[in-house]
């Protein structure tokens, strides 16, 4: 059974600091996703990582994927208050060789304080 673990689950940061969120998954998966969720809102897609060594950056967020270690990281550079949200990673299962469904981690609730 595919499991996805994120840590930390809660993260309180000061503005201007850097930090990394980790996402481990238990079995092979083709793709890894990062989403952002603001309170009471839906999931906003941040990154889709498709291959080993993939790195994607958008603004102050950078995501990477190591499929051999089954690990993805979401690095936050010089945090600002607007980044306060819950961040989820998710991996795709396979169903008999075809695309399956997303398995989500529990999410990392990020709070950026002045």
Partner 1 sequence: KAGVTQTPRYLIKTRGQQVTLSCSPISGHRSVSWYQQTPGQGLQFLFEYFSETQRNKGNFPGRFSGRQFSNSRSEMNVSTLELGDSALYLCASTWTGGYGYTFGSGTRLTVV
- Footprint of partner 1 on this chain (CB under 8 A)? 31, 33, 35, 40-45, 48, 50, 88, 90, 95, 98-107
DSSP E strand stretches across 2-106: 4-7, 10-14, 19-25, 32-37, 43-49, 55-58, 61-66, 71-76, 85-95, 98-104
Nearer to partner 1, 62 or 92 (CB): 92
Minimal distance in Å, beta carbon 66 to partner 1?
19
Residue 38 φ then ψ, to 5°: -90, 155
Shortest distance (Å) from residue 48 CB to partner 1? 5
Residue 9 or 78 with smaller CB distance to partner 1: 9
Please, what is the minimum distance in Å from the beta carbon of residue 63 to partner 1? 14
Nearest to 25 by CA among 64, 71, 88, 93: 71
Query: Closest CB to partner 1 among 21 and 79?
Result: 21
Residue with Cβ nearer partner 1 (44 or 58): 44
CA–CA dist 105, 7 (Å, integer): 9
Q: How far is the CB of 112 from partner 1 (least distance, A)?
A: 22
Phi, psi of 45 (to 5 degrees): -70, 130
């Amino acid at each position: 059974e595919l499991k996805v673990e994120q840590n930390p689950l809660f993260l309180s940061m000061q503005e201007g600091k850097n930090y990394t969120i980790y996402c481990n998954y238990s079995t092979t998966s083709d793709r890894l996703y990062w989403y952002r969720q603001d309170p009471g809102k839906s999931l906003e897609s941040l990154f889709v990582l498709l291959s080993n060594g993939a790195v994607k950056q958008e603004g102050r967020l950078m995501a990477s994927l190591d499929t051999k270690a089954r690990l993805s990281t979401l690095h936050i550079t010089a945090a600002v208050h607007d980044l306060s949200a819950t961040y989820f990673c998710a991996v795709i299962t396979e169903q008999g060789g075809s695309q399956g469904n997303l398995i989500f981690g529990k999410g990392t609730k990020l709070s950026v304080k002045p």
